[in-house]
Structure 1
């Protein structure tokens, strides 16, 4: 087949299919091309291996290329669905998104509601999401919570999208690793009754490489855009195995620690929290239930880390700790109840005034925010 006569696209990541260069995006062997066209399941080699063997092949795609794909949204009348990870709202924001979307309405969708503690009121979280979005320069028309993994509230999302789009195209946008394509698959399943995933998903950043258009009955489209790479997330310094371990998979069980000034909490070997100054106080950690937390005295913390990283303190494992970035220190003075967020990992709720320090891998963000709970 002459691909210059008919353009074909991978149904998994949206990349244009080509058969010439195995190192570039969209590559599909000639042997798989005809079968993919015949079955309507045309996948590039990268998506095929990821879907069937969980092997991810890196394909070069610059941040500028990803951002350029969003430029066209502001030029048309459309609804924009912005997906965020409710455990990392700051790390989920796309810098300058308000300039890309123009005057188009924005619906904020918070993913991973299934791992929130049951005691948390969803109305409080959506109100908090709206406030955080406005602080980032957005003016969302509404906010919703869903679970891409469990398909929770997907039907409600479909109804809300139909209500807001008014016959227009719908663009689904988000940074990498927030579960955007997983939500898209759940929307497609709910709308079509097809229980197979269409869009390739994984915990690896940057799985979707181009726009994926799903036709709607009225002639408009639901469009999955590439995840914008936010390089300050924990996902960019962890292996696949470790990323799965620290990404919450079930309802969180918050852990509260009574600390005196001069005590430290290690979050595996990937982060650290020091209580520097203040009265004895409680600190509540919201992290994956599989992440092991260890307490020690701050004066002994450096030696403790050097001795136990990769062993007692995991992840990373002993075989991966040597390539892991060094931890860098950031200090915060807390005057009121505050969340200290480790981007892409979780957060520690600080309930009383004091001075704290956090240590995160070089290049990963740690920020303070208004409490979510």
Structure 2
């Protein structure tokens, strides 16, 4: 193609197949930029990627984007005016951090199919029917009434065919919008769907970094309707936003999580590397079950020494973060709870600790990261 023909294509609109941003060749630091030489090659193969997606896919480098939270919500806000099936993807391991506040405002009267991704990292001892029932209850508590709940592993392709059968059953020739917060695996799931239908691998850009998809990406069904991948809503209270690439591997389980049980007396503290902390303040000696990435370092000490211990060892004995990353890492903030029943203390984007009834405990996380208490999942 000549340069003039390519410029005409740009005016008509060429979009990155990786993130959905409109391709442009003029502003290097803006969304959708790609050099003209790379654009020519992409047009020859019908796979045009912006420079950001190219570097992310081949070098695992992330470039900052200029979209704001309001931009993401504005894009999702268009869904309420359509007639569609909403596929709401959550990360089961980070269920609380996966919830979209006010989702009903985005979806209107459209039916919602709740999909729990990353089922492969959950302990095999947890019965899947109990898990889906728990997910439905938690969704109801948050004002969401799903027509169905299903579990998948997008990374491994588990149950993707079952999900597609449910989508075909519920969509009734309508478009399908896939929604979720960043890092729940939406794009990985859509890649698995595309692969199951066409054999094409990894068409859409995916990574552990939040906010990979920047605009709507549309994949056509045979009947003329579309499967639409939407940008992830960014939750600034998730741990991933405070970590670099080296630390992210300690908060995103890639294998089945192995629970660890600690018998604690009151006035004892557990550190999760240098990322978080748990204090058993008051109560009888009890078992506490920890669900975190298997390689995350755990350390027990006395509560009275915990503050001094953290100041001395964060970034060295207590890692991640590394000593260099600690310079930019927020201070830990304390959240105290008193339990009435068996509960989970959840640190958004990191994991949770199952605690018994009638204890006083405190969870510590970087300032800005949510720590909440919920009905025990397991």
For Structure 1 versus Structure 2, the TM-score category normalised by the shorter chain is over 0.9
Partner of 1:184: 190
Partner of 1:240: 245
Deviation at 1:4, TM superposition (A): 5.3
Partner of 1:15: 21
Partner of 2:141: 135
Partner of 1:49: 55
Are positions 1:149 and 2:155 aligned together? yes
> What are the within-5 Å matches in structure 2 for residues 253-272 of structure 1?
253-272=258-277
In the TM superposition, structure 1's runs of 4+ consecutive aligned residues that sit over 4 Å from their partners are none
1:33-91 CA-partner distances (Å, limit 9, x unpaired): 11111101100000001001111111110111111111121111100000001122221
1:284 partner SS: strand
Distance in 2, Cα, partners of 1:19 & 1:169: 31
2:130 partner SS: helix
1:130 partner SS: helix
Deviation at 1:241, TM superposition (A): 1.1
Partner of 1:301: 306
Rate the CA distance shift 1:5–1:321 in 2: closer, same or farther, 3 A: closer
Deviation at 1:6, TM superposition (A): 1.7
Partner of 1:78: 84
Partner of 1:364: 369
Partner of 1:326: 331
Partner of 1:101: 107
1:37 partner SS: helix
Are positions 1:167 and 2:173 aligned together? yes
Q: CA RMSD in A?
A: 0.9
Select which of 5, 11, 32 maps to 1:5.
Answer: 11
2:12 partner SS: coil
Select which of 34, 38, 62 maps to 1:32.
Answer: 38
Distance in 1, Cα, partners of 2:356 & 2:148: 29
Question: Is this contact kept in 2: 1:281–1:352, CA < 8 A?
Answer: no
Partner of 2:234: 229
1:5-34 CA-partner distances (Å, limit 9, x unpaired): 321000000000011101010001111111
Q: Which runs of 5+ in 1 are unaligned?
A: none
1:228-252 CA-partner distances (Å, limit 9, x unpaired): 1010000000111111122111111
Distance in 2, Cα, partners of 1:118 & 1:132: 21
1:360 partner SS: strand
Deviation at 1:159, TM superposition (A): 0.7
Question: Is this contact kept in 2: 1:246–1:290, CA < 8 A?
Answer: no
Distance in 2, Cα, partners of 1:356 & 1:183: 37
Deviation at 1:110, TM superposition (A): 0.6
Q: Calculate the TM-score normalised by the size of structure 2.
A: 0.97
Deviation at 1:99, TM superposition (A): 1.1
Partner of 1:335: 340
Distance in 2, Cα, partners of 1:115 & 1:92: 16
Question: Is this contact kept in 2: 1:358–1:366, CA < 8 A?
Answer: yes
1:306-327 CA-partner distances (Å, limit 9, x unpaired): 1111111000011111110000
Distance in 2, Cα, partners of 1:206 & 1:35: 26
Q: Which runs of 5+ in 2 are unaligned?
A: 1-5
Distance in 2, Cα, partners of 1:7 & 1:253: 48
Distance in 2, Cα, partners of 1:317 & 1:9: 38
Distance in 1, Cα, partners of 2:141 & 2:357: 24
Question: Is this contact kept in 1: 2:93–2:121, CA < 8 A?
Answer: no
Are positions 1:198 and 2:203 aligned together? yes
Deviation at 1:353, TM superposition (A): 1.6
Are positions 1:315 and 2:311 aligned together? no
Distance in 1, Cα, partners of 2:290 & 2:93: 12
